[in-house]
Amino acid sequence: MRKVSILGATGSIGQNTIDLIRRAPERYNVVALTGGRNIAQLAQDARALNADIAVTAYTELLGDLRDALYGSGVDVAAGEAAIVEAADRPADWVMSAIVGAAGLPPGLQALKQGATLALANKESLVTAGPLLMSEAKKHGATVLPVDSEHSAVFQALVGEEISNVERVIITASGGAFRDWPVEQLAGATLEQASTHPNWAMGQRITIDSATMFNKAMEVIETKEYFGFDPEKIEVIIHPESLIHALVGFCDGAIMAHVGPADMRHAIGYALHWPERAHLPVERLDLAQIGMLRFKEPEPVRYPALRLASEVMKIGGLSGAIFTAAKEEALDGFIAGALGFLQMATIVEDVLSQLCSDQSLIKAEISLDNVRQVDHLARKRASEAIRRLQ
């Protein structure tokens, strides 16, 4: 039996992972499930999967979790440190699906105990890619991509020499407002931004798709995971979301990964790697689909992509600043304190304030330094949000 843990089990990726595991319970021994505020879901899954431990990120919810799991035999714990401890419990495969920068410390811990880390939490790579990848190497652990575009690139590279790759193209749906007149974007509401044209995902990543902060993070994720030069990484809008990424080689061939817009494909690939297994996803009917379209992303509509290029140029801890400022700006938009377009303004403002400080940016990418710049960037972002009001 394979020992598996799921960090962020109550979220969209976590629930899709549980769906796959529940189909073959005889193959998996569930070690830890972690969640946040959704105690009912966490308790229900911990009972159903007979997990060793269930952990909520919030200490004030420990009592609720304990009550919900009374008599089940599942251990309970709460708080950030408890999540890191849960990730330290020996497991063969750990799904990293917490949303945001909070996913980094438990992901690193899972690598330290030598687990294969299925990485959905793209923020870990954007914030501290070199640290994550070097920890994996140091501990002989494997990191497998779960983000659909990166899983697609990973699959297109099987049996290929990285040095033969000329370009990597990741696709973007264009998000909720891809067809809106640019002049109307400033007035986009939370409800409108929380609806994705093709994918069913958590609210935060759905809004990040509308701004393309999600794609901006994915460009950085591509650089950090595969080590490609930023000039080789392209983004193209593909409204059907059926091609997830394309890899262009030195002989002019392009390998495209085509599949349904269902995260269980990429999760299942990482779960069964290096093998392929039967997965309960839709089989595409190409004649029915008829046509696949592609379009250049307009820079005025998606300033986040330009910011990602700047972050890759600056390097060092600028990715941690970018992630933290983006998270604060997103919180501001969700709370109604910021307009849709102001999210990018805040991130740009914080980057320009902090990235001129070379001693800050070029400090070692360690967990402590990441925490420090994360704190500073959030502070500067909330000040900038207040100034706009």
CB 60: neighbour CB atoms within 10 A? 9
Q: Segment 257-316, which members bind ligand NDP (CB under 6 A)? A: 263
Amino acid at 121: N
Q: Give the total of residues touching Mg ion (CB under 5 A).
A: 3
Rounded distance, CA 125 to CA 356, Å?
22
Dihedral sign (CA 206, 245, 215, 288): negative
DSSP character string of 24-78: SGGGEEEEEEEESS-HHHHHHHHHHTT-SEEEES-GGGHHHHHHHTTTS--EEEE
Do strands 254-258 and 243-249 pair parallel, antiparallel, or not at all (unpaired)? antiparallel
Residue 202 in contact with ligand NDP, rule: CB under 6 A: yes
Q: Cβ atoms within 10 A of the Cβ of 229, count?
A: 10
Q: Is 124 annotated as a binding residue?
A: no
Question: Least separation, in Å, of the C-beta of 36 and ligand NDP?
Answer: 3
What's the rounded Cα separation, in Å, for the pair 215 and 292? 19
Binding mask 17-56 for ligand NDP (x = CB under 6 A): ------------------xxxx------------------
Instruction: Please tell me the distance from the alpha carbon of residue 227 to that of residue 252, in angstroms, as a whole number.
Output: 21
Q: How far is the CB of 305 from ligand NDP (least distance, A)?
A: 17
Q: Cβ 77 to ligand NDP, closest distance in Å?
A: 12
Q: Which stretch binds Mg ion (CB under 5 A): 90-98, 142-150, 151-159, 222-230?
A: 142-150
Can residue 249 be called a binding residue for ligand NDP (CB under 6 A)? Answer: no
315 is known to lie in a ligand binding site = no
DSSP type of residue 273? T
CA distance 49 to 37: 19
Residue 315 CA to residue 341 CA, distance in Å, equals 25
Pick the stretch among 70-78, 176-184, 186-194, 199-207 that binds ligand NDP (CB under 6 A): 199-207
Flag whether 215 is marked binding. yes
Q: Where are the alpha helices (DSSP H) in 161-238?
A: 190-193, 203-211, 213-226
Question: Per CB under 6 A, which of residues 85..114 are in contact with ligand NDP?
Answer: 97-99, 102
Q: What is the per-residue binding string for ligand NDP in 111-140, x denoting contact by CB under 6 A?
A: ---------xxxx-----------------
Residue 241 binds which one of ligand NDP, Mg ion, none, with CB within 5 to 8 A depending on kind?
none
Q: Is 147 in the site for Mg ion (CB under 5 A)?
A: yes
Q: What is residue 324's DSSP assignment?
A: H
Binding site for ligand NDP (CB under 6 A): 8-14, 35-38, 57, 83, 97-99, 102, 120-123, 147, 199, 201-202, 204-205, 263
List binding-site positions. Answer: 10-13, 36-38, 121-123, 147-149, 173, 196, 202, 209, 214-215, 218
Residues of this chain that interact with Mg ion (CB under 5 A) are 147-149
